[in-house]
Structures are given as structure tokens and as C-alpha cells.
Amino acid sequence: MTCELEHVSPYQLLVATILSAQCTDRRVNMVTPALFARYPDVASLAVARLEELESLIQSTGFYHNKARNLLGMANGVVDKHGGEVPDSMEALTALPGVGRKTANVLLGTAFGKNVGVVVDTHVARISGLLGLTEATDPVKIERDLMACLPRAEWTDFSHMLIHHGRNICVARTPRCGECPLYALCPGHRPRPGEAVTARIARPRARREPNGETPRGRA
């Protein structure tokens, strides 16, 4: 399973991942060809005019912030790393617009380094459904997943869950009938014709200090 963001270099993947925030990969892939034709490397992006950059990425949403982050990232790479995208978590997350999730995408996909697990909305939701974590904070979810997966599988696992969330375990209309993980998923919906056993929660009886159950009131 591979990253769905189209790229041919760490620079392109970093830009595409920043643009993918609150945006589909499909939309990003529609925008980046013209963007990379205009700014083929970090050096050219670092001297881009803000207004021109915004016009090229406008359809990805939140384009004002994304444009500023792209300029800040490019200037940081030029000034601190000689124009070469760094390959460490510490250096990447020090760049504007680059959080741990983005850094994990870049390290795992572009550099082949399994430093962590990418936790986006799909990974967070499905790992919870599968009972792999009870956390809701991305950092804690990542920690739980790292503990239960072999390090060599961290990057591929992220890609697989993201792909699964987009195509099968869709948040609003999950296609449980087609899911290969159905038998393993505690959070699945019943398939057509499948018997459902309703669980009725019964309140626990309150006990007095002497251990006896109090009688109901008349």
C-alpha cells in the first residue's frame, strides 16, 4: 500500500502533505502539477509571491494559512538545511506547518524511516473500532499503535487504514458487508440477515453498608 499523494521527491511530498490538511488527496493531486511546474524546488518556492501562491492552492481550502506555511517551510529548509528537506523528526517538526503527522508521512514514505505511525482521522477512527486503542488524542493513539505493531509495519499500516477508511469503512456509511476485517471488528454493523443480540443494560443494585440489597419503595 502506498501514499495516495502523487510525488516524485521529498519536497513534493512535503508540500502535498501540508496541502492535504482538511482536503482530499484527490483535490491535492489536481492542484500540485501546476504548483510544481511553477515552483519545481524548495528554492523557487521560498521566493514565491504570497498572492500567486494562494491563487494556485486556493481550491484546497484554508489557502491563506497553507500559503504562509509553505513559504515558511521553504525558507526554513533553505536557511537551515541548505535547500535539502531534512530527514529527522526534530528537524521537520521545527519547520512552519509541519506537525508530527506530516513528519511521519514524509519520514516513512519518502525516506523509508519508521519513526512513528501516521494518525489522521481515518487511522484514529478505525483503530478505535478495532479495539487497538481507547485514546482520542493523536499522540496517545500513535503510542498505542506503536506498542502493538512491529516497527517495520508502522508506515504500511497507516497507509492501509487510510485506504480502508476512504474506500470501505467510510465514516457515515461503512460498507461492513464488504469489509475483510468484519470478523475482527468489535464496532461493526450487522450484515443483512445477521441476527442481532440486543444487550440491555441493567442498573446495578445498590447495597447497604451491611451488604444487603435495599427493598423497593412502595
For residue 198, what pLDDT is reported? 37
In whole angstroms, what is the distance from residue 155 CA to residue 74 CA? 25
- pLDDT score for 90: 97
Residue 184: per-residue pLDDT: 86
**Residue 132 located in a structural domain:** yes
Span 57-81, mean pLDDT?
97
Has residue 3 been placed in a domain?
no
State CA 44 to chain mean position distance: 28
No. of helices (H) and no. of strands (E), the chain: 10, 0
d(CA 119, CA 182): 21
Catalytic residue numbers, as ranges: 101, 120
Q: Domain range spanning residue 100?
A: 10-109
Phi first, then psi, for residue 9 (nearest 5°) are -155, 160
Q: Are residues 14 and 70 in the same domain?
A: yes
Residue 83 lies in a domain: yes
pLDDT of 193: 59
C-alpha cell belonging to residue 110 = 519518502
Residue 215 lies in a domain: no
pLDDT at 1 over 80: no
Same domain, 100 and 22: yes
pLDDT at position 3 is: 87
Closest to 110 measured CA to CA, from 43, 155, 161, 166:
155
pLDDT for res 87: 97
* Farthest CA pair distance, the chain: 82
User: 22 and 94 share a domain?
Assistant: yes
CATH of the domain at 168: 1.10.1670.10
Task: Label residue 23 exposed, middle or buried (CB < 10 Å: 0-12, 13-18, 19+).
Answer: middle
160 lies in the same domain as 127: yes
Overall number of domains in the chain: 2
Half-sphere exposure of 185 (CA within 13 A, CB side): 20
Per-residue pLDDT, averaged over 59-80, amounts to 97
- 40 found inside a domain: yes
In the predicted model, is pLDDT for residue 42 greater than 60? yes
Render pLDDT for 174-200 as a digit per residue (tens, 0 to 9): 999 899 998 888 877 666 555 444 333
- DSSP, residue by residue, 65-128: HHHHHHHHHHHHHHHHHTTSPP-SHHHHHTSTT--HHHHHHHHHHTS----S----HHHHHHHH
Instruction: Give tens-digit pLDDT for 76-131.
Output: 999 999 999 999 999 999 999 999 999 999 999 999 999 999 999 999 999 999 99
pTM for the predicted model, two decimal places: 0.82
User: Could you tell me if 106 and 116 are in contact, meaning their C-beta atoms sit under 8 angstroms apart?
Assistant: no
